[in-house]
A = this chain, B = another copy of it.
Amino acid sequence: MTERIDHTLRDRWTPTTGPLPAHALAWLRRRTGLAEARTPARTPEVPASALSDAARTALAAVVGPGFVRVDRDSRLGRAGGMSYVDLLRRRGEGGLAVPDAVVLPATPEQVADVLRTCAEHDVAVVPFGGGTSVVGGVAALRGDKAAVLALDLARLDRLVSVDPVSRVAVLQAGLPAPEAERLLAPHGLTTGHVPQSYERATIGGFAATRSAGQASSGYGRFEDMVEGVRLATPVGEWRLGAAPASAAGPDLKQLVIGSEGVLGVITEVAVRVRPRPAVERYEGFVVDGFARGTEVVRALAQRRVLADVTRLSDEDETEVTLALAGGWKTAALKAYLRARGIARPCLLVLGWHGATEAEARRRARVVRGAGLVPLGRALGEAWRHGRFNGPRQRDALLDVGVCVETLETATHWSRVAELRSAVRRALVDALGDCVVMCHISHAYETGASLYFTVLAARDAGDPVGQWQVAKAAACEAIGGLGTISHHHAVGTDHAPYLEAEIGGPGVAVLASVKRTLDPTGVLNPGKLIPRGLA
Protein backbone atom coordinates (compact mmCIF):
# COMPACT_ATOMS: atom_id res chain seq x y z
CA MET A 1 0.00 0.00 0.00
CA THR A 2 2.69 2.46 1.07
CA GLU A 3 4.64 1.47 -2.02
CA ARG A 4 1.70 2.16 -4.26
CA ILE A 5 1.19 5.60 -2.77
CA ASP A 6 4.87 6.48 -3.14
CA HIS A 7 4.93 5.16 -6.67
CA THR A 8 1.87 7.21 -7.58
CA LEU A 9 3.61 10.21 -6.17
CA ARG A 10 6.91 9.72 -8.00
CA ASP A 11 5.15 8.99 -11.19
CA ARG A 12 2.75 11.86 -10.98
CA TRP A 13 4.63 14.59 -12.75
CA THR A 14 6.78 12.51 -15.02
CA PRO A 15 6.08 13.36 -18.64
CA THR A 16 5.14 10.15 -20.36
CA THR A 17 5.79 11.29 -23.90
CA GLY A 18 9.15 12.17 -25.42
CA PRO A 19 10.10 15.47 -27.07
CA LEU A 20 7.87 17.02 -29.70
CA PRO A 21 8.29 15.54 -33.22
CA ALA A 22 10.21 17.78 -35.60
CA HIS A 23 7.33 18.29 -38.03
CA ALA A 24 5.03 19.34 -35.21
CA LEU A 25 7.59 21.79 -33.87
CA ALA A 26 8.10 23.25 -37.35
CA TRP A 27 4.36 23.68 -37.79
CA LEU A 28 4.05 25.36 -34.38
CA ARG A 29 6.88 27.79 -35.20
CA ARG A 30 5.15 28.67 -38.45
CA ARG A 31 1.75 29.21 -36.83
CA THR A 32 2.65 30.97 -33.57
CA GLY A 33 5.97 32.73 -34.20
CA LEU A 34 7.60 30.50 -31.59
CA ALA A 35 11.34 31.24 -31.04
CA GLU A 36 14.06 28.61 -31.36
CA ALA A 37 15.22 28.75 -27.73
CA ARG A 38 14.44 25.95 -25.30
CA THR A 39 13.08 26.96 -21.92
CA PRO A 40 14.14 24.36 -19.39
CA ALA A 41 12.35 23.96 -16.04
CA ARG A 42 13.81 25.37 -12.84
CA THR A 43 13.31 23.67 -9.50
CA PRO A 44 10.59 25.35 -7.44
CA GLU A 45 11.24 26.47 -3.88
CA VAL A 46 9.74 24.44 -1.06
CA PRO A 47 9.49 26.42 2.20
CA ALA A 48 9.82 24.77 5.60
CA SER A 49 6.62 23.14 6.85
CA ALA A 50 4.50 25.42 9.04
CA LEU A 51 2.60 22.54 10.63
CA SER A 52 2.88 22.77 14.42
CA ASP A 53 4.24 19.82 16.39
CA ALA A 54 0.97 19.63 18.29
CA ALA A 55 -1.06 19.37 15.06
CA ARG A 56 1.35 16.82 13.64
CA THR A 57 1.13 14.67 16.76
CA ALA A 58 -2.66 14.89 16.79
CA LEU A 59 -2.88 13.94 13.09
CA ALA A 60 -0.44 11.07 13.58
CA ALA A 61 -2.70 9.79 16.35
CA VAL A 62 -5.53 9.60 13.82
CA VAL A 63 -3.85 8.10 10.75
CA GLY A 64 -0.62 6.65 12.18
CA PRO A 65 2.79 8.37 12.13
CA GLY A 66 3.76 6.90 8.73
CA PHE A 67 0.84 8.65 7.07
CA VAL A 68 1.65 12.22 8.07
CA ARG A 69 4.37 13.22 5.61
CA VAL A 70 6.37 16.42 5.69
CA ASP A 71 9.20 15.45 3.35
CA ARG A 72 9.89 17.59 0.31
CA ASP A 73 8.81 15.05 -2.33
CA SER A 74 5.50 14.27 -0.65
CA ARG A 75 4.66 17.93 -0.29
CA LEU A 76 5.80 18.94 -3.78
CA GLY A 77 3.84 16.02 -5.25
CA ARG A 78 0.59 17.54 -3.93
CA ALA A 79 1.44 21.18 -4.73
CA GLY A 80 -1.38 22.12 -7.08
CA GLY A 81 -2.98 20.48 -10.07
CA MET A 82 -2.35 20.27 -13.79
CA SER A 83 -3.32 23.59 -15.29
CA TYR A 84 -0.81 25.35 -17.53
CA VAL A 85 -0.14 27.82 -14.71
CA ASP A 86 0.36 24.89 -12.29
CA LEU A 87 2.94 23.44 -14.66
CA LEU A 88 4.66 26.82 -15.00
CA ARG A 89 4.79 27.21 -11.24
CA ARG A 90 6.33 23.80 -10.79
CA ARG A 91 8.90 24.85 -13.39
CA GLY A 92 9.87 27.75 -11.12
CA GLU A 93 7.72 30.51 -12.64
CA GLY A 94 5.72 32.56 -10.12
CA GLY A 95 4.99 31.35 -6.61
CA LEU A 96 4.05 27.73 -5.96
CA ALA A 97 1.84 27.03 -2.94
CA VAL A 98 3.16 23.87 -1.28
CA PRO A 99 1.20 22.09 1.48
CA ASP A 100 2.85 21.95 4.88
CA ALA A 101 2.13 18.25 5.15
CA VAL A 102 0.40 15.36 3.43
CA VAL A 103 -2.01 13.26 5.47
CA LEU A 104 -3.23 9.89 4.24
CA PRO A 105 -6.28 8.59 6.13
CA ALA A 106 -7.35 4.98 5.54
CA THR A 107 -11.10 5.11 6.21
CA PRO A 108 -14.08 7.51 6.04
CA GLU A 109 -13.97 7.64 9.85
CA GLN A 110 -10.32 8.73 9.79
CA VAL A 111 -11.18 11.43 7.25
CA ALA A 112 -13.80 12.80 9.63
CA ASP A 113 -11.30 12.66 12.53
CA VAL A 114 -8.67 14.48 10.45
CA LEU A 115 -11.19 17.26 9.73
CA ARG A 116 -12.07 17.66 13.39
CA THR A 117 -8.36 17.69 14.30
CA CYS A 118 -7.66 20.35 11.69
CA ALA A 119 -10.53 22.50 12.96
CA GLU A 120 -9.05 22.26 16.47
CA HIS A 121 -5.51 23.07 15.33
CA ASP A 122 -6.31 25.88 12.86
CA VAL A 123 -5.09 23.90 9.85
CA ALA A 124 -6.61 24.25 6.37
CA VAL A 125 -7.38 21.05 4.44
CA VAL A 126 -7.10 20.54 0.68
CA PRO A 127 -8.76 17.23 -0.33
CA PHE A 128 -6.48 15.57 -2.88
CA GLY A 129 -7.39 12.78 -5.30
CA GLY A 130 -5.58 12.45 -8.60
CA GLY A 131 -4.39 16.04 -8.56
CA THR A 132 -5.70 16.58 -12.09
CA SER A 133 -7.58 19.82 -11.46
CA VAL A 134 -6.93 22.39 -14.19
CA VAL A 135 -8.71 25.24 -12.37
CA GLY A 136 -6.65 25.52 -9.17
CA GLY A 137 -9.00 23.20 -7.28
CA VAL A 138 -6.17 21.58 -5.33
CA ALA A 139 -3.92 24.62 -4.87
CA ALA A 140 -2.42 24.41 -1.37
CA LEU A 141 -3.90 27.66 -0.09
CA ARG A 142 -4.04 28.15 3.65
CA GLY A 143 -6.48 31.09 3.71
CA ASP A 144 -6.37 32.58 7.22
CA LYS A 145 -5.20 29.33 8.83
CA ALA A 146 -1.83 28.64 10.45
CA ALA A 147 -0.95 25.82 8.06
CA VAL A 148 -2.40 23.80 5.20
CA LEU A 149 -2.29 20.10 4.52
CA ALA A 150 -3.09 17.98 1.52
CA LEU A 151 -5.59 15.30 2.56
CA ASP A 152 -4.63 12.57 0.10
CA LEU A 153 -7.42 10.00 -0.33
CA ALA A 154 -5.22 7.36 -2.00
CA ARG A 155 -5.82 4.81 0.76
CA LEU A 156 -9.61 4.99 0.34
CA ASP A 157 -9.36 2.58 -2.56
CA ARG A 158 -12.00 -0.11 -1.97
CA LEU A 159 -14.95 -1.33 -3.95
CA VAL A 160 -17.28 -1.34 -0.95
CA SER A 161 -20.21 -3.22 -2.48
CA VAL A 162 -21.89 -4.20 -5.72
CA ASP A 163 -25.66 -4.58 -6.17
CA PRO A 164 -25.84 -6.39 -9.52
CA VAL A 165 -29.67 -6.35 -9.57
CA SER A 166 -29.96 -2.58 -9.10
CA ARG A 167 -26.66 -2.03 -10.92
CA VAL A 168 -25.21 0.15 -8.22
CA ALA A 169 -21.63 -0.03 -6.97
CA VAL A 170 -20.27 1.79 -3.93
CA LEU A 171 -16.74 3.01 -4.66
CA GLN A 172 -14.36 4.73 -2.30
CA ALA A 173 -13.32 8.24 -3.22
CA GLY A 174 -9.60 7.66 -3.58
CA LEU A 175 -9.94 5.02 -6.30
CA PRO A 176 -8.29 6.12 -9.53
CA ALA A 177 -10.67 5.53 -12.43
CA PRO A 178 -8.66 2.67 -14.01
CA GLU A 179 -8.49 0.91 -10.64
CA ALA A 180 -12.25 1.35 -10.14
CA GLU A 181 -12.80 -0.23 -13.56
CA ARG A 182 -10.40 -3.07 -12.73
CA LEU A 183 -12.45 -3.82 -9.60
CA LEU A 184 -15.77 -3.65 -11.47
CA ALA A 185 -14.59 -5.80 -14.40
CA PRO A 186 -15.00 -9.19 -12.67
CA HIS A 187 -18.65 -8.23 -12.11
CA GLY A 188 -19.00 -7.47 -15.83
CA LEU A 189 -19.73 -3.83 -14.98
CA THR A 190 -18.35 -0.39 -15.84
CA THR A 191 -19.05 3.22 -14.94
CA GLY A 192 -18.45 4.24 -18.56
CA HIS A 193 -16.83 7.40 -17.21
CA VAL A 194 -13.71 8.25 -19.22
CA PRO A 195 -12.66 11.90 -19.03
CA GLN A 196 -9.30 12.90 -20.51
CA SER A 197 -7.93 12.80 -16.94
CA TYR A 198 -9.00 9.14 -16.71
CA GLU A 199 -5.56 7.68 -16.06
CA ARG A 200 -5.03 9.65 -12.86
CA ALA A 201 -8.34 11.13 -11.71
CA THR A 202 -10.33 9.54 -8.88
CA ILE A 203 -13.95 8.69 -8.13
CA GLY A 204 -14.10 11.34 -5.41
CA GLY A 205 -12.69 13.94 -7.74
CA PHE A 206 -15.28 13.11 -10.40
CA ALA A 207 -18.05 13.76 -7.89
CA ALA A 208 -16.45 16.82 -6.32
CA THR A 209 -16.07 18.53 -9.70
CA ARG A 210 -19.17 17.41 -11.68
CA SER A 211 -16.93 15.66 -14.17
CA ALA A 212 -18.12 14.72 -17.66
CA GLY A 213 -16.37 11.93 -19.53
CA GLN A 214 -15.65 11.52 -23.22
CA ALA A 215 -18.56 9.06 -23.41
CA SER A 216 -20.97 11.36 -21.57
CA SER A 217 -23.39 11.37 -24.48
CA GLY A 218 -23.94 7.66 -23.84
CA TYR A 219 -23.30 7.22 -20.13
CA GLY A 220 -24.25 10.65 -18.84
CA ARG A 221 -22.26 13.10 -16.78
CA PHE A 222 -20.81 11.81 -13.54
CA GLU A 223 -23.57 13.48 -11.52
CA ASP A 224 -26.12 11.52 -13.55
CA MET A 225 -24.47 8.31 -12.31
CA VAL A 226 -24.35 9.20 -8.64
CA GLU A 227 -26.95 7.30 -6.62
CA GLY A 228 -25.55 8.28 -3.25
CA VAL A 229 -22.68 10.03 -1.50
CA ARG A 230 -20.94 9.80 1.84
CA LEU A 231 -19.36 13.04 2.97
CA ALA A 232 -17.09 13.73 5.94
CA THR A 233 -17.55 17.24 7.34
CA PRO A 234 -16.11 18.98 10.39
CA VAL A 235 -19.56 18.73 12.02
CA GLY A 236 -20.06 15.04 11.30
CA GLU A 237 -20.82 12.57 8.56
CA TRP A 238 -23.51 13.14 5.93
CA ARG A 239 -24.99 10.34 3.84
CA LEU A 240 -27.43 10.87 0.99
CA GLY A 241 -29.14 8.63 -1.55
CA ALA A 242 -32.21 6.71 -0.38
CA ALA A 243 -33.60 5.96 -3.85
CA PRO A 244 -32.96 6.34 -7.59
CA ALA A 245 -35.15 9.45 -7.55
CA SER A 246 -37.01 11.34 -4.88
CA ALA A 247 -39.29 14.26 -4.18
CA ALA A 248 -38.23 14.44 -0.53
CA GLY A 249 -37.25 18.07 -0.84
CA PRO A 250 -34.38 19.50 -2.89
CA ASP A 251 -31.85 17.02 -4.26
CA LEU A 252 -29.09 17.64 -1.75
CA LYS A 253 -26.83 15.13 -3.52
CA GLN A 254 -26.54 17.79 -6.22
CA LEU A 255 -25.25 20.21 -3.59
CA VAL A 256 -22.48 17.81 -2.60
CA ILE A 257 -21.62 16.96 -6.20
CA GLY A 258 -19.59 19.90 -7.41
CA SER A 259 -18.81 21.14 -3.91
CA GLU A 260 -15.06 20.90 -4.66
CA GLY A 261 -14.01 20.05 -1.13
CA VAL A 262 -15.31 23.26 0.42
CA LEU A 263 -18.32 21.66 2.14
CA GLY A 264 -16.76 18.34 3.11
CA VAL A 265 -14.67 15.47 1.84
CA ILE A 266 -16.45 12.88 -0.29
CA THR A 267 -15.36 9.48 1.01
CA GLU A 268 -17.65 7.08 -0.86
CA VAL A 269 -19.87 7.33 -3.92
CA ALA A 270 -22.68 4.96 -4.91
CA VAL A 271 -22.50 4.87 -8.69
CA ARG A 272 -24.94 3.55 -11.27
CA VAL A 273 -23.02 1.00 -13.35
CA ARG A 274 -23.75 -0.72 -16.66
CA PRO A 275 -22.64 -3.91 -18.34
CA ARG A 276 -19.18 -3.56 -19.83
CA PRO A 277 -19.55 -3.22 -23.59
CA ALA A 278 -17.97 -6.10 -25.48
CA VAL A 279 -17.50 -3.85 -28.49
CA GLU A 280 -16.49 -0.23 -28.94
CA ARG A 281 -16.76 0.91 -32.52
CA TYR A 282 -15.22 4.25 -33.44
CA GLU A 283 -15.58 5.90 -36.80
CA GLY A 284 -14.25 9.11 -38.27
CA PHE A 285 -16.36 11.38 -40.47
CA VAL A 286 -15.94 14.77 -42.06
CA VAL A 287 -18.63 17.37 -42.38
CA ASP A 288 -18.50 20.64 -44.29
CA GLY A 289 -18.03 23.39 -41.74
CA PHE A 290 -18.58 23.59 -37.99
CA ALA A 291 -22.04 25.13 -38.39
CA ARG A 292 -23.23 22.16 -40.45
CA GLY A 293 -21.51 19.76 -38.05
CA THR A 294 -23.25 21.40 -35.12
CA GLU A 295 -26.60 20.86 -36.86
CA VAL A 296 -25.80 17.17 -37.34
CA VAL A 297 -24.89 16.70 -33.68
CA ARG A 298 -27.96 18.67 -32.59
CA ALA A 299 -30.23 16.51 -34.73
CA LEU A 300 -28.76 13.32 -33.25
CA ALA A 301 -29.09 14.72 -29.72
CA GLN A 302 -32.67 15.86 -30.22
CA ARG A 303 -33.62 12.55 -31.82
CA ARG A 304 -31.94 10.94 -28.78
CA VAL A 305 -29.78 8.67 -30.91
CA LEU A 306 -26.37 10.14 -30.04
CA ALA A 307 -23.32 7.94 -30.22
CA ASP A 308 -21.80 7.21 -26.81
CA VAL A 309 -18.77 9.26 -27.82
CA THR A 310 -19.55 12.30 -29.97
CA ARG A 311 -16.80 14.75 -30.78
CA LEU A 312 -16.99 17.43 -33.45
CA SER A 313 -13.83 19.46 -34.17
CA ASP A 314 -14.01 22.89 -35.74
CA GLU A 315 -12.07 23.84 -38.87
CA ASP A 316 -8.97 24.89 -36.91
CA GLU A 317 -8.84 21.83 -34.71
CA THR A 318 -9.33 19.66 -37.77
CA GLU A 319 -6.48 21.39 -39.59
CA VAL A 320 -4.16 20.99 -36.61
CA THR A 321 -5.10 17.35 -36.15
CA LEU A 322 -4.30 16.65 -39.79
CA ALA A 323 -1.12 18.75 -39.74
CA LEU A 324 0.24 17.09 -36.62
CA ALA A 325 -0.67 13.58 -37.73
CA GLY A 326 2.52 13.45 -39.79
CA GLY A 327 1.97 9.88 -40.95
CA TRP A 328 -1.26 10.75 -42.71
CA LYS A 329 -1.42 11.28 -46.42
CA THR A 330 -3.00 14.68 -46.00
CA ALA A 331 -2.68 15.64 -49.68
CA ALA A 332 -4.57 12.53 -50.71
CA LEU A 333 -7.12 13.17 -47.97
CA LYS A 334 -7.65 16.72 -49.17
CA ALA A 335 -8.26 15.51 -52.71
CA TYR A 336 -10.72 12.89 -51.40
CA LEU A 337 -12.62 15.56 -49.48
CA ARG A 338 -12.55 18.05 -52.35
CA ALA A 339 -14.05 15.42 -54.62
CA ARG A 340 -16.92 15.13 -52.12
CA GLY A 341 -17.58 18.84 -52.00
CA ILE A 342 -16.03 19.41 -48.58
CA ALA A 343 -14.55 22.91 -48.56
CA ARG A 344 -14.09 23.40 -44.82
CA PRO A 345 -13.48 19.97 -43.33
CA CYS A 346 -14.53 19.38 -39.74
CA LEU A 347 -13.76 16.05 -38.12
CA LEU A 348 -16.53 14.19 -36.35
CA VAL A 349 -15.50 11.18 -34.28
CA LEU A 350 -18.35 8.94 -33.17
CA GLY A 351 -18.03 5.91 -30.93
CA TRP A 352 -20.72 3.33 -30.28
CA HIS A 353 -20.57 0.79 -27.49
CA GLY A 354 -22.48 -2.44 -27.65
CA ALA A 355 -22.82 -5.96 -26.40
CA THR A 356 -22.04 -7.23 -29.89
CA GLU A 357 -20.41 -5.97 -33.06
CA ALA A 358 -23.82 -6.22 -34.71
CA GLU A 359 -25.41 -4.01 -32.07
CA ALA A 360 -22.69 -1.36 -32.39
CA ARG A 361 -23.01 -1.50 -36.18
CA ARG A 362 -26.78 -1.24 -35.99
CA ARG A 363 -26.52 1.81 -33.75
CA ALA A 364 -23.97 3.38 -36.10
CA ARG A 365 -26.54 3.29 -38.90
CA VAL A 366 -28.39 6.31 -37.49
CA VAL A 367 -25.92 8.70 -39.11
CA ARG A 368 -26.73 7.52 -42.62
CA GLY A 369 -28.24 10.31 -44.61
CA ALA A 370 -26.82 13.00 -42.32
CA GLY A 371 -24.50 14.28 -45.06
CA LEU A 372 -21.31 12.98 -43.42
CA VAL A 373 -18.29 11.87 -45.44
CA PRO A 374 -16.94 8.69 -43.86
CA LEU A 375 -13.22 8.50 -43.14
CA GLY A 376 -13.40 5.00 -41.78
CA ARG A 377 -12.68 3.24 -38.54
CA ALA A 378 -8.91 3.79 -38.56
CA LEU A 379 -9.35 7.49 -37.87
CA GLY A 380 -11.85 6.74 -35.12
CA GLU A 381 -9.49 4.22 -33.61
CA ALA A 382 -6.58 6.69 -33.86
CA TRP A 383 -8.58 9.16 -31.82
CA ARG A 384 -9.45 6.46 -29.30
CA HIS A 385 -5.83 5.40 -29.04
CA GLY A 386 -4.64 8.92 -28.27
CA ARG A 387 -7.64 10.00 -26.25
CA PHE A 388 -5.75 10.51 -22.97
CA ASN A 389 -2.57 11.96 -24.51
CA GLY A 390 -3.37 15.67 -24.34
CA PRO A 391 -2.15 16.28 -20.79
CA ARG A 392 0.96 14.17 -21.36
CA GLN A 393 2.20 16.23 -24.28
CA ARG A 394 2.26 19.48 -22.39
CA ASP A 395 5.68 19.10 -20.79
CA ALA A 396 7.24 18.62 -24.23
CA LEU A 397 5.42 21.74 -25.43
CA LEU A 398 6.48 23.74 -22.40
CA ASP A 399 10.09 22.69 -22.98
CA VAL A 400 10.10 24.43 -26.36
CA GLY A 401 8.47 27.63 -25.11
CA VAL A 402 4.83 27.03 -25.96
CA CYS A 403 1.90 28.47 -24.05
CA VAL A 404 -0.66 25.64 -24.14
CA GLU A 405 -3.94 25.53 -22.26
CA THR A 406 -7.55 24.47 -22.59
CA LEU A 407 -10.80 25.95 -21.38
CA GLU A 408 -14.41 24.96 -21.82
CA THR A 409 -17.98 26.09 -21.52
CA ALA A 410 -21.47 25.06 -22.62
CA THR A 411 -24.58 26.77 -23.83
CA HIS A 412 -27.89 26.20 -25.54
CA TRP A 413 -27.83 25.31 -29.25
CA SER A 414 -29.08 28.71 -30.36
CA ARG A 415 -26.01 30.38 -28.85
CA VAL A 416 -23.27 27.87 -29.73
CA ALA A 417 -21.98 29.84 -32.74
CA GLU A 418 -22.04 33.17 -30.90
CA LEU A 419 -20.28 31.76 -27.84
CA ARG A 420 -17.58 30.10 -29.93
CA SER A 421 -16.90 33.33 -31.83
CA ALA A 422 -16.81 35.42 -28.67
CA VAL A 423 -14.30 33.17 -26.92
CA ARG A 424 -12.09 32.81 -30.02
CA ARG A 425 -12.04 36.57 -30.49
CA ALA A 426 -11.17 37.18 -26.84
CA LEU A 427 -8.27 34.72 -26.98
CA VAL A 428 -6.88 35.99 -30.26
CA ASP A 429 -7.16 39.60 -29.13
CA ALA A 430 -5.27 38.78 -25.93
CA LEU A 431 -2.59 36.48 -27.35
CA GLY A 432 -1.94 37.77 -30.86
CA ASP A 433 -0.48 35.07 -33.11
CA CYS A 434 -1.97 31.91 -31.74
CA VAL A 435 -3.92 28.79 -32.64
CA VAL A 436 -7.37 28.49 -31.11
CA MET A 437 -9.05 25.15 -31.68
CA CYS A 438 -12.52 24.18 -30.58
CA HIS A 439 -14.64 21.07 -30.36
CA ILE A 440 -18.01 19.92 -29.13
CA SER A 441 -17.54 16.83 -26.98
CA HIS A 442 -20.74 16.66 -24.95
CA ALA A 443 -24.15 17.14 -26.50
CA TYR A 444 -27.55 17.47 -24.89
CA GLU A 445 -31.05 17.87 -26.27
CA THR A 446 -30.90 21.58 -25.51
CA GLY A 447 -27.25 22.44 -26.11
CA ALA A 448 -23.62 21.42 -26.11
CA SER A 449 -20.21 21.99 -24.58
CA LEU A 450 -17.46 23.93 -26.33
CA TYR A 451 -13.88 22.96 -25.54
CA PHE A 452 -11.04 25.25 -26.60
CA THR A 453 -7.35 24.46 -26.92
CA VAL A 454 -4.93 27.37 -27.25
CA LEU A 455 -1.35 27.31 -28.54
CA ALA A 456 0.82 30.43 -28.54
CA ALA A 457 4.44 31.46 -28.15
CA ARG A 458 5.10 31.86 -24.45
CA ASP A 459 5.94 35.30 -23.09
CA ALA A 460 9.30 34.49 -21.48
CA GLY A 461 9.14 37.56 -19.22
CA ASP A 462 5.73 36.93 -17.61
CA PRO A 463 4.30 33.64 -18.82
CA VAL A 464 1.82 33.37 -15.94
CA GLY A 465 0.54 36.90 -16.51
CA GLN A 466 0.31 36.33 -20.27
CA TRP A 467 -2.10 33.44 -19.80
CA GLN A 468 -4.04 35.03 -16.95
CA VAL A 469 -4.88 38.01 -19.19
CA ALA A 470 -6.05 35.71 -21.98
CA LYS A 471 -8.03 33.50 -19.58
CA ALA A 472 -9.73 36.53 -18.03
CA ALA A 473 -10.70 37.77 -21.50
CA ALA A 474 -12.17 34.36 -22.35
CA CYS A 475 -14.09 34.20 -19.06
CA GLU A 476 -15.52 37.67 -19.64
CA ALA A 477 -16.58 36.60 -23.12
CA ILE A 478 -18.36 33.53 -21.72
CA GLY A 479 -20.31 35.54 -19.14
CA GLY A 480 -23.94 35.89 -20.15
CA LEU A 481 -23.57 33.49 -23.08
CA GLY A 482 -22.79 30.20 -21.36
CA THR A 483 -21.50 28.57 -18.20
CA ILE A 484 -18.09 29.41 -16.83
CA SER A 485 -17.34 25.68 -16.77
CA HIS A 486 -19.03 22.69 -18.32
CA HIS A 487 -16.79 20.04 -16.71
CA HIS A 488 -13.58 21.52 -15.28
CA ALA A 489 -15.22 23.05 -12.19
CA VAL A 490 -14.57 26.39 -10.46
CA GLY A 491 -11.50 26.08 -8.25
CA THR A 492 -9.59 29.33 -7.80
CA ASP A 493 -9.59 30.23 -11.48
CA HIS A 494 -13.32 30.58 -12.08
CA ALA A 495 -14.34 31.78 -8.61
CA PRO A 496 -14.31 35.47 -9.66
CA TYR A 497 -16.87 34.68 -12.37
CA LEU A 498 -19.21 32.51 -10.32
CA GLU A 499 -21.44 35.27 -9.00
CA ALA A 500 -22.23 36.45 -12.52
CA GLU A 501 -23.53 32.95 -13.23
CA ILE A 502 -25.34 31.91 -10.03
CA GLY A 503 -26.22 35.37 -8.71
CA GLY A 504 -25.73 37.04 -5.37
CA PRO A 505 -28.28 34.72 -3.73
CA GLY A 506 -26.42 31.72 -5.13
CA VAL A 507 -23.13 32.78 -3.62
CA ALA A 508 -24.85 33.65 -0.32
CA VAL A 509 -26.48 30.21 -0.26
CA LEU A 510 -23.15 28.42 -0.85
CA ALA A 511 -21.52 30.51 1.86
CA SER A 512 -24.31 29.72 4.34
CA VAL A 513 -24.08 26.00 3.61
CA LYS A 514 -20.32 26.18 4.11
CA ARG A 515 -20.73 27.94 7.47
CA THR A 516 -23.14 25.20 8.55
CA LEU A 517 -20.91 22.26 7.62
CA ASP A 518 -17.48 23.88 8.11
CA PRO A 519 -17.97 26.53 10.80
CA THR A 520 -14.25 27.26 11.25
CA GLY A 521 -13.60 27.38 7.50
CA VAL A 522 -10.81 24.82 7.29
CA LEU A 523 -12.02 23.19 4.07
CA ASN A 524 -10.22 24.10 0.84
CA PRO A 525 -9.98 27.89 1.34
CA GLY A 526 -10.11 30.10 -1.71
CA LYS A 527 -11.91 27.56 -3.94
CA LEU A 528 -15.38 27.76 -5.46
CA ILE A 529 -16.86 30.51 -3.28
CA PRO A 530 -15.70 33.98 -4.32
CA ARG A 531 -13.19 35.58 -1.98
CA GLY A 532 -14.69 37.59 0.84
CA LEU A 533 -17.76 35.39 1.06
CA ALA A 534 -16.26 32.04 2.02
Interface residues of A (CB under 8 A from B): 163, 165-168, 209-212, 221, 223, 227, 231, 233, 235-240, 242-252, 254-260, 272, 274, 298, 302, 409-415, 442, 444-449, 482-490, 494, 498, 501-506, 508-510, 512-513, 515-517, 528
Known: A247-B209, A249-B490, A250-B254. A236 touches B167 (CB 8 A): no
Indicate if the CB atoms of B254 and A258 lie closer than 8 Å: no
Q: What residues of B have a CB within 8 angstroms of the CB of A247 in the complex?
A: 209-212, 258, 483, 485-490
Q: What residues of B have a CB within 8 angstroms of the CB of A243 in the complex?
A: 409-412, 447, 482-483, 486
Q: What residues of B have a CB within 8 angstroms of the CB of A411 in the complex?
A: 242-244
The one of B237, B259, B410 in contact with A249, judged by C-beta atoms closer than 8 angstroms, is B259
Indicate if the CB atoms of B238 and A410 lie closer than 8 Å: no
| Complex Cα–Cα for A501 and B239 (A) | 9
Closest 8 A/B residue pairs (Cβ): A254-B254, A166-B412, A243-B483, A244-B447, A210-B247, A246-B483, A238-B505, A244-B444
Residue of B with least CB distance to A488:
B247
A62 to chain B, nearest CB (A): 21
Indicate if the CB atoms of B412 and A163 lie closer than 8 Å: yes
Indicate if the CB atoms of B242 and A483 lie closer than 8 Å: yes
A162 to chain B, nearest CB (A): 11
A320 to chain B, nearest CB (A): 25
Indicate if the CB atoms of B258 and A255 lie closer than 8 Å: no
The one of B249, B449, B494, B498 in contact with A502, judged by C-beta atoms closer than 8 angstroms, is B249
The one of B221, B245, B444 in contact with A444, judged by C-beta atoms closer than 8 angstroms, is B245
| Complex Cα–Cα for A242 and B245 (A) | 24
Known: A255-B255, A414-B163, A506-B240. A498 touches B249 (CB 8 A): yes
Instruction: Add 7 more A-B contacts to A243-B411, A512-B515 (CB < 8 A).
Output: A165-B412, A165-B413, A242-B484, A243-B486, A246-B501, A509-B513, A512-B513
Residue of B with least CB distance to A259:
B250
Residue of B with least CB distance to A443:
B244
Indicate if the CB atoms of B250 and A257 lie closer than 8 Å: yes
Q: What residues of B have a CB within 8 angstroms of the CB of A163 in the complex?
A: 412, 414
